[in-house]
């Protein structure tokens, strides 16, 4: 079983980092395959809390090699800030490898991200303003600058100058401030020199690791419903977080991916705009946000809350070939007298099969709910399935039955060990 993939099954912030940190104990390599510093991944170890954006969540284990794969877009300022902060806390990042084929984010990408959001007006996506979309657009337009270019500082400086001038035309035409070309060239020449020792052929590295029988974990950022193809377009990110993206963004072919873990909260959240059929407004939603501390790690924005949605999760199973689910934050529901599980959709009064492929359909969805009695007791100390109250077990079994793949891990707290390993005997079809 060489390669495990962890993907978000909802709209992000499902607790991927915590599950990756848990699984990393049995893996020697953890590699990011898409996205960039729009991700905010939190790992809690005892009293210590680590908020990661670019560095893979396996970094906390000294014998795990963290890899930034070819599919990632890398902001060098954030990368070194993160390395410095981790090293100041005694976490060594010297093992980090950054793919020579990953693309770099520059200040004009951030400026263009903000400009695009302004131009969208009421239709704005609510991006993280990190320059992710414009950096991937440059990659697709074949104008991007790859990490490997830093190995030739003279050519790197020329590339930066050329791209800065080209993007300044766009910014000037829109009447927004341009970037200071000389200052960017100077700053990124220094950052490039610092990056050089980390640059590697990560595709060869990952294949060699697999060939040597080592266990590799591919860490997804964002989530299935933020996927450029499978998400609620245009309210999505600009990469493919789904399992197919794990292959493309790491260079490990699809046949090597054999365990694909979808992460879902016991409810749902979404940051930014876009359809959300099971969204909760009012007091119930506020309680989920308060208890679950649903504020973005990166932007501090309040996350929109809602009930768990098994229609989404069934779709996530299909597009990712999920072999199992990890169900996080079950403890957040501890004080609710009853909890709801969305089991189906109705559109214009009719039952709808599958996941709507158009945003106008999603806007008209009426969720069909199954209501489960709450357990109204704390799950914080539970570590074994038989320690979970009956109502909580019924909740997990209902999700498994509705989604059709086994739940293997249940989260009952933010801390590293606050999990219940679950095995109902169900196997993925
Ligand atoms: P990611 O982006 O998917 O890695 O998730 P985030 O780290 O952005 O957000 C998940 C938040 O929930 C973090 O603050 C975690 O520490 C926390 N968390 C993860 N699992 C659990 C859990 O089972 N229970 C509770 N109460 N908190 C959790
Ligand atoms: P993790 O890895 C939640 C959302 C943004 C916005 C949309 C596009 O922590 O789960 P972008 O800056 O990517 O162009 O923004 O995607 N978004 C996330 N939401 N968790 C994330 O990452 C996200 N990364 C991007 O809020 O709606
Ligand atoms: Mg997050």
Where residue 149 sits, what CATH number does that domain have?
A: 1.10.300.10
Say how many domains are in the chain: 2
Same structural domain for residues 94 and 9? yes
Both tokens of residue 287?
């309680």
Distance 297 CA to ligand 2 centre (A): 11
Distances (CA, A) of 236 to 35, 47, 233, 368: 12, 34, 5, 25
Whether 80 is covered by a domain: the verdict is: yes
Q: How far apart are CA 195 and CA 193, in angstroms?
A: 5
The Å distance, Cα 43 to ligand 3 centre, comes to: 10
Q: Whose CA is closest to 260, among 211, 217, 308? A: 217
Q: Is residue 324 part of a domain?
A: no
Count of C-beta atoms within a 10 Å radius of residue 352 = 17
CA distance 334 to 322: 27
Ligand 1 pocket, 278 CB below 6 A?
no
20 and 68 housed in the same domain: yes
Residue 399 Cα to ligand 1 midpoint, Å, equals 19
Cα distances (Å, whole numbers) of residue 219 to 30, 211, 383? 7, 20, 25
Judge whether 207 counts as a catalytic residue: no
- pLDDT at position 222 is 98
| 60 and 191 part of one domain | no
Helix (H) or strand (E) holding 28: none
**Beta carbon of 149 within 6 Å of any ligand 1 atom:** no
Q: Confirm whether 41 is a catalytic residue.
A: yes
Q: Does the beta carbon of 329 lie inside 6 Å of ligand 1?
A: yes
Please tell me whether residues 95 and 107 are part of one structural domain: no
List the residue whose alpha carbon is closest to atom 5 of ligand 2: 127
Per the structure block, which two tokens stand in for 315? 């779709």
pLDDT, position 424: 87
Evaluate whether residue 416 is within a structural domain. Answer: no
- How would you class 381 by CB atoms within 10 Å of its CB: exposed for 0-12, middle for 13-18, buried for 19 or more? exposed
List phi, psi (to 5°) of 154.
Answer: -70, -50
Question: Is 366 inside any structural domain?
Answer: no
Nearest CA to ligand 2 atom 13: 237
Residues 6+ apart with CB under 8 A from 241: 7, 8, 34, 35, 220, 221, 222, 223, 224, 226, 227
Residue 220 CA: which ligand 2 atom is closest?
A: 2
Q: Is residue 267 part of a domain?
A: no
* Ligand number nearest to the C-alpha of 45: 1
Task: Show the low-confidence residues of the chain (pLDDT under 50).
Answer: none
Supply the pLDDT for residue 384: 97
Task: Please tell me the distance between residue 212's alpha carbon and the centre of ligand 3 in angstroms.
Answer: 32
Within a domain: 395: no
Choice among 27, 41, 167, 230 that is catalytic: 41
**Residue 89 and residue 27 in one domain:** yes
414 in ligand 1 pocket by Cβ < 6 Å?
yes
Distance 61 CA to ligand 2 centre (A): 26
Q: Give the chain's length.
A: 429
| Contact status, residue 73 vs residue 104, Cβ threshold 8 Å | yes
412 lines ligand 1 (CB under 6 A): yes
Same domain, 88 and 26: yes
Which of 256, 273, 293 is the last residue in one of the domains?
256
Q: How far is the CA of 96 from the centre of ligand 3 (A)?
A: 21
Q: Give me the half-sphere count of Cα atoms (radius 13 Å) on the Cβ side of residue 299.
A: 15
Q: Which atom of ligand 1 is nearest to the CA of 221?
A: 2
CA of 297 to the centre of ligand 3 (A): 6
Q: Which residue out of 32, 226, 302, 328 has the highest number of ligand 2 atoms within 8 Å of its CB and is therefore the one to mutate?
A: 226
218 neighbors 257 (Cβ within 8 angstroms):
yes
* Nearest bound ligand to the CA of residue 226: 2
Q: Are 222 and 85 members of one domain?
A: yes
Handedness of CA 262, 327, 130, 115 (dihedral sign): positive
pLDDT at 2: 85
Task: CATH number of the domain at 29, please.
Answer: 3.40.440.10
Looking at the structure, do residues 130 and 111 belong to the same domain, yes or no? Answer: yes
Residue 17: inside a domain: yes
Residues 238 and 179 in one domain: no
Mutate to test the pocket of ligand 1, among 9, 15, 60, 241 (most ligand atoms within 8 A of CB): 15
315 found inside a domain? no
Ligand 2 pocket residues where CB is under 6 Å: 8, 12-13, 38-41, 125-128, 130, 132-133, 221-223, 226, 237-238, 271-272
41 in contact with ligand 1, CB cutoff 6 A: yes
What domain range is 216 assigned to?
Answer: 3-99+210-256
Q: Are 219 and 192 in a shared domain?
A: no
- Based on the fold, state whether residues 136 and 49 are members of the same structural domain: no
**Ligand 2, atom nearest to 301 Cα:** 26
Specify whether 38 is located in the same domain as 176. no
């Amino acid at each position: 079983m060489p390669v495990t993939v962890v993907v978000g099954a909802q709209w992000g912030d499902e607790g991927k980092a915590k599950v990756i940190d848990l699984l990393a104990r049995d893996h020697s390599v953890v590699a990011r395959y898409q996205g960039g510093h729009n991700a905010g991944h939190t790992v809690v170890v005892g009293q210590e809390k680590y908020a990661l954006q670019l560095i893979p969540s396996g970094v906390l284990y000294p014998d795990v090699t963290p890899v930034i794969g070819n599919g990632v877009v890398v902001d060098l300022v954030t990368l070194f800030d993160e390395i410095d902060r981790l090293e100041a806390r005694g976490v060594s990042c010297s093992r980090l490898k950054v793919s020579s084929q990953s693309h770099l984010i520059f200040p004009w990408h951030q400026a263009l991200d903000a400009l695009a959001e302004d131009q969208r007006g009421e239709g704005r996506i609510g991006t993280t303003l990190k320059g992710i979309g414009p950096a991937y657009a440059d990659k697709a337009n074949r104008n991007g600058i790859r990490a490997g270019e830093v190995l030739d500082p003279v050519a790197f400086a020329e590339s930066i100058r050329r791209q800065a001038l080209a993007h300044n035309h766009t910014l000037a035409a829109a009447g927004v401030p341009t970037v200071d070309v000389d200052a960017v060239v100077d700053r990124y020449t220094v950052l490039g020199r610092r990056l050089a020792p980390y640059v590697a052929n990560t595709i060869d590295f990952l294949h060699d690791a697999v060939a040597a029988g080592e266990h590799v974990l591919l860490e997804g950022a964002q989530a299935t419903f933020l996927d450029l193809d499978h998400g609620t377009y245009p309210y999505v990110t600009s990469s493919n977080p789904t399992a197919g993206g794990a292959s493309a963004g790491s260079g490990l072919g699809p046949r090597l991916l054999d365990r694909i873990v979808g992460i879902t909260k016991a409810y749902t959240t979404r940051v930014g705009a876009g359809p959300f059929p099971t969204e909760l407004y009012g007091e119930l939603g506020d309680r989920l946000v308060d208890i679950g501390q649903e504020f973005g790690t990166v932007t501090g924005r309040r996350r929109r809350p809602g009930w768990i949605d098994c229609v989404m999760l069934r779709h996530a199973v299909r597009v990712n070939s999920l072999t199992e689910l990890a169900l996080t934050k079950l403890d957040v529901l501890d004080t609710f007298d009853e909890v709801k599980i969305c089991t189906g959709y109705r559109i214009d009064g009719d039952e709808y099969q599958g996941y709507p492929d158009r945003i106008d359909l999603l806007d008209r969805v009426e969720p069909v709910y199954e209501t489960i009695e709450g357990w109204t007791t704390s799950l914080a100390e539970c570590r074994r399935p038989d320690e979970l109250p009956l109502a909580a077990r019924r909740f997990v079994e209902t999700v498994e039955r509705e989604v059709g793949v086994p739940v293997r891990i249940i989260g009952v707290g933010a801390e590293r060990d606050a999990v219940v390993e679950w095995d109902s005997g169900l196997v993925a079809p």
